[in-house]
């Protein structure tokens, strides 16, 4: 089969498009014919050797995947051959930047039926990150005020939509490039952070600040002053410490996405039954994944990109 692998960490040119033996599922695993995988910044971090995630080299990237079940290992009962599925794969194992991938059966849930299977690869880790940040870490409830810093990215798109469905009032920062998408996702207020200081635009305290964007410690601490006494600051950017304020009872939580098949299945239900938007910025052929990594390293990738392998 065709796959993209890196045999050593480094720049995007360590990625190779090559022939690889088709994997066979062990007990408790399934094999899928890949419809698409998705690019995430962590893929670049693992390829570059920047993230402390243990990998066996050579490694196939792409831990978000969609496809069709092709073979079952012993003892698998939750899926059947022919099922369309999506999955958030273990980051330490080979990913979906290939024609086939094998992973634990409990990594997968039924794919949404209302969107193309290729596009569904863009859902798992980013939608789970948004849900876990809002509800597990932040405890968001109806009627609360939420400030999403960096709402124009893939995680932000789901965060805005999920928060609105939960009954929250959503204030979102966005650049002009993403403002229309953020509005379509349902934000109640949109702040163009390129022209308006967020500290000036938010005129009443918020119950939760969700930071999804690169930010300096100083700017993060300033934004945290917008959180009411007893509120919470949640962040998905672990390179900068999430600020708290013990004197005011403001808590801090840093989110690291983790597998949750039940929540992922619920997100799929929202896509099919409640119109949860899945925004895909581009489809890229598998052989062009190294070029995509290079563009991402240069800060030139915006929105969710899915990678489509040749037909198996």
Q: What is the pLDDT of residues 81-105, one digit of tens each?
A: 999 999 999 999 999 999 999 999 9
pLDDT at 270 over 90: yes
More confident residue, 31 or 50: 31
The b/e string for 93-109 (b: 16+ C-beta within 10 A; e otherwise) is bbbbbbbbbbbbbebbb
pLDDT at 117: 98
Residue 246: band (very low, low, confident or very high) from pLDDT cuts 50, 70, 90: very high
pLDDT at 15: 98
Cα–Cα distance for residue pair 41/154, rounded to 1 Å: 11
The pLDDT tens digits for 135-179 are: 999 999 999 999 999 999 999 999 999 999 999 999 999 999 999
Cα–Cα distance for residue pair 100/64, rounded to 1 Å: 13
pLDDT at 238: 87
Residue 88: which of 47, 129, 141, 147 has the closest Cα? 129
Residue 274: band (very low, low, confident or very high) from pLDDT cuts 50, 70, 90: very high
The superfamily CATH assigns to domain 125-254 is NAD(P)-binding Rossmann-like Domain (3.40.50.720)
How is residue 311 annotated by DSSP?
Answer: P
Q: Do domains 2-123+279-308 and 125-254 have the same CATH topology?
A: no
CATH class assigned to 2-123+279-308 = alpha beta
pLDDT at 229 over 90: yes
For residue 218 the two structure tokens come to 């100083």
Residue 307: band (very low, low, confident or very high) from pLDDT cuts 50, 70, 90: very high
CA 256 to centroid of chain Cα atoms: 11
pTM, two decimal places: 0.96
**Domain layout of the chain by residue ranges:** 2-123+279-308, 125-254
The b/e string for 117-139 (b: 16+ C-beta within 10 A; e otherwise) is bbbbbbbbbbbbbbbbbbebbbe
Concatenate the DSSP letters of all residues of 243-259 into one string. P-BGGGTBEEEE-----
Cα–Cα distance for residue pair 153/132, rounded to 1 Å: 16
The pLDDT tens digits for 285-306 are: 999 999 999 999 999 999 999 9
Mean pLDDT value of segment 270-275: 97
The H-assigned helical ranges of the chain are: 41-48, 117-120, 124-131, 154-165, 179-184, 198-201, 217-224, 261-274, 289-297
pLDDT at 312 over 90: no
For residue 121 the two structure tokens come to 């690869």
pLDDT at 264: 98
pLDDT at 52 over 90: no
Mean pLDDT of the chain: 97
pLDDT at 106 over 90: yes
Cis ω before 135 (30° cut-off from 0):
no
Within a 13 Å sphere around the CA of 115, how many CA atoms are in the beta-carbon half? 27
**Token pair 């990150």 is at which residue?**
129
Beta strand residue intervals within 39-83, DSSP E? 64-72
Mean pLDDT value of segment 66-85: 97
pLDDT at 239: 87
Residue 205: which of 249, 257, 152, 271 has the closest Cα? 249
Residues 6 or more apart whose Cβ sits within 8 Å of residue 123: 64, 86, 112, 264, 267, 268, 271, 278
């Amino acid at each position: 089969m065709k796959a993209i692998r890196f045999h050593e960490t480094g720049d995007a040119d360590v990625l190779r498009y090559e022939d690889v033996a088709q994997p066979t599922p062990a007990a408790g695993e399934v094999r899928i014919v890949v419809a698409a995988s998705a690019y995430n910044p962590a893929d670049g971090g693992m390829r570059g050797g920047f993230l402390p995630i243990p990998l066996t080299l050579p490694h196939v990237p792409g831990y978000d995947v969609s496809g069709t079940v092709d073979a079952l290992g012993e003892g698998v009962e939750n899926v059947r051959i022919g099922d369309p599925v999506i999955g958030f794969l273990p980051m330490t194992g080979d990913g979906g930047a290939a024609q086939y991938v094998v992973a634990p059966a409990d990594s997968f849930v039924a794919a949404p039926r209302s969107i193309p299977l290729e596009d569904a690869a863009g859902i798992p880790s980013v939608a789970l990150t948004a849900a876990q940040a809002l509800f597990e870490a932040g405890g968001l409830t109806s009627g609360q005020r939420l400030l999403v810093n960096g709402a124009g990215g893939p995680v932000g798109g789901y965060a805005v939509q999920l928060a609105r469905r939960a009954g929250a009032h959503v204030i979102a920062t966005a650049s002009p490039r993403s403002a229309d998408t953020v509005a379509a996702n349902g934000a109640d207020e949109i702040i163009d952070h390129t022209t308006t200081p967020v500290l000036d635009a938010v005129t009443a305290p918020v119950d939760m600040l969700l930071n999804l964007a690169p930010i300096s410690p100083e700017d993060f601490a300033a934004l945290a002053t917008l959180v009411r006494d007893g509120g919470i600051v949640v962040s998905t950017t672990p390179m900068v410490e999430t600020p708290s304020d013990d004197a005011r009872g403001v808590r801090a939580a840093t989110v690291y996405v983790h597998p949750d098949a039940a929540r992922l299945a619920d997100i799929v239900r929202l896509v099919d039954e409640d119109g949860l938007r899945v925004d895909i910025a581009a489809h890229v052929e598998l052989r062009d994944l190294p070029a995509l990594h290079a563009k991402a390293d240069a800060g030139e990738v915006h929105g969710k990109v899915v990678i489509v392998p040749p037909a198996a």
